[in-house]
Structure 1
């Protein structure tokens, strides 16, 4: 160890685009005890159509940028990022290398092995790419790659039990490697309904349904629009709020043009709590999820949700108690949404139950505590590797 005796943690994520992984990393960076942990964050750059979490929250000075690291696979950039990480590891000599997202998980774990610094290796799956992303051939390649990378890992962290079970079923890692650490969320103070609606330009009394998240194929904003169409037929005057951006932003804007008076396309907003406060129901329409922060945040704001039953969603939303779960059928999602819009008493009960549950189960303090415990449990293993490495020099 260094003379100050702290546990050195090198955390690597491909990019800090707005979303669950970036929120988790930010919470950890702020919450880890600096007297015990020397935690350093290494990241690449967001794509042109993505919103940078660091810039949005004024945190750009708190990271180390890795040249060549980003979302896209480019052989030259990937090699540059790999060798840059190897050099950084040999300089910092971390006890723990903690990677997140598939790209950083591959480069970071390979770099940790090649650097020869004896670090314990941890990789967090915020979800997985087993469904909704790849063709069968590319999925098979992804599975083979993750199986190999799992053999280079000391711990595999998942944000939910279902995510872990899906990965194990695909033959990725061993049960003893896995640790489930659910997300931790800190929502800013939630405004009252009237203030929130005024801020967003929404009528004070109209029913409001919100979508919060990236506009990408796996999130299925097209399904949300189908749900909105079905809801509008039963509840005229309903308004629909879309908070987020991404590669399909232009398509969503085009598709809602005929009914643009019913839609409010907000783009990315820092004050998502305002969106939750203004909404009567939050709807998630994804084909695949890990443990979605949107549903946690909505719960903390006391807003009931309707969601597809995918990934670890059922570990956030207690069906018929804190929200309603459905298949991926737009008609079923719409029926659940109409039910909550028409039964205000039920919606209020579910919102209150969701607030109690999410604040208890998904606080940032619990996330930080679980992660600190994981790091401490691995530090002895890392120390033994460092000693073994020194003895061979």
Structure 2
């Protein structure tokens, strides 16, 4: 039984889709439970015909926003669903679903093994002060209710351990697995997006939210334009800070193409000379994996487990969080096409070999098996203990 708060466009939904489609059905009866996507987000797979979409059991009240009444309703629905399905393993993803799902698993009386995946964490760039302390305390308690904690990267795991969340022996590191669609040629991609064939192009793909720092994207673009006049910036995505981004780029709006959400992100990557990420915090961003698979070099802030995707100076370039430093790295690639080509080719080889869906599925199946064996052994031990007591 896999539980996620919502299937919005992003890394967790992509991972779930790849996993659900390829798990061995002869061995695993896998069911997905999720809430609703909210208004400022795009739903994962909404462009897929209804008959081909991933089967989802909807949980009323489950979603991104914390609302005590809805959350209690979702908790009750999850407990009921577990009692009907009686899963051997409950696998939760994202913070809110992780909390409700693990509590429900304990309250259900079914006794499933409990596994939670951290696709990132909320330790940096989300909360400060009392709210951050409350988050850390709650995750410590939830870790004590978990049989296995999964982090998408080593740095994500280490950050959580440094915050006292879980024990090292509880953790497994399972990097994401990605499969992209057919990659068009550069000319074809630019014609499809209405971009000039000869201009330098920088792409940003992702949500426009506070932790992603669209304000830093705008400041970096301004600094790049000072170095490389005529550069075009393509933004594929949306979110609550779209309006702020539009205000920030107003003085150089002609240099920006705001595409909104698109499912053919491989077209955006192929059209770009550089892919840029400006976040304050990341787990293992699929944007950088996908860009690498298309052979497009990236420039990113050195945050989270980004350095486990981008080998600085080998498959892309990393920088601090200052717009001028980011802009200097972007301009370096735009003005040195030989370097950009070498990094892009190395990125394609590295990401294709290291972040396949097949590897993700094999790693996850292995974890499910080990948890099931542990659950059965625990039951046998409790049975023997009970008989001995009689």
Do the structures match in fold with TM over 0.5? yes
Is the partner of 1:38 in helix, strand or coil? coil
Give the aligned partner of residue 359 of structure 2: 366
| CA drift at 1:96 | 0.2
Is the partner of 2:234 in helix, strand or coil? strand
Give, in whole Å, the separation in 1 of the partners of 2:336 and 2:19: 39
Is the partner of 1:237 in helix, strand or coil? coil
| CA drift at 1:54 | 3.5
Report the TM-score when normalising by structure 2. Answer: 0.96
Q: 1:41 aligns with which of 32, 36, 39?
A: 32
Per-residue displacement from partner, 1:129-165 (whole Å, max 9, x unpaired)?
0000002111100000000000000000000000000
Give, in whole Å, the separation in 1 of the partners of 2:378 and 2:236: 47
Give the aligned partner of residue 289 of structure 2: 296
| CA drift at 1:383 | 2.6
Give, in whole Å, the separation in 1 of the partners of 2:154 and 2:244: 34
Per-residue displacement from partner, 1:243-285 (whole Å, max 9, x unpaired)?
0011111222233233222100000000000000000000100
Give the aligned partner of residue 339 of structure 1: 332
Contact 1:119–1:385 under 8 Å retained in 2: no
1:305 aligns with 2:276: no
Is the partner of 1:21 in helix, strand or coil? helix
1:282 aligns with 2:275: yes
Worse-superposed segment, 350-359 or 58-67: 58-67
Contact 1:95–1:383 under 8 Å retained in 2: no
Give, in whole Å, the separation in 2 of the partners of 1:197 and 1:155: 45
Is the partner of 1:182 in helix, strand or coil? coil
Give the aligned partner of residue 256 of structure 2: 263
Give, in whole Å, the separation in 2 of the partners of 1:135 and 1:310: 18
Unaligned 5+ segments in structure 1 are: 1-9
Aligned length: 383
1:16-165 maps to which residues of 2 (within 5 A)? Answer: 16-58=7-49, 60=53, 62-165=55-158
1:196-211 maps to which residues of 2 (within 5 A)? Answer: 196-211=189-204
| CA drift at 1:329 | 0.6
| CA drift at 1:57 | 3.6
Give, in whole Å, the separation in 2 of the partners of 1:236 and 1:230: 10
Give the aligned partner of residue 214 of structure 1: 207
Per-residue displacement from partner, 1:203-252 (whole Å, max 9, x unpaired)?
00100001010000000011011111011111111000000011111222
Is the partner of 1:149 in helix, strand or coil? helix
| CA drift at 1:56 | 3.5
Is the partner of 1:55 in helix, strand or coil? coil
Give, in whole Å, the separation in 1 of the partners of 2:217 and 2:13: 24
Give, in whole Å, the separation in 2 of the partners of 1:382 and 1:32: 20
Is the partner of 1:240 in helix, strand or coil? strand
Per-residue displacement from partner, 1:105-133 (whole Å, max 9, x unpaired)?
00000000000111000000000000000
Give the aligned partner of residue 178 of structure 2: 185
1:354 aligns with 2:347: yes
Report the TM-score when normalising by structure 1. Answer: 0.95
Contact 2:17–2:54 under 8 Å retained in 1: no
1:320-339 maps to which residues of 2 (within 5 A)? Answer: 320-339=313-332
| CA drift at 1:387 | 6.2
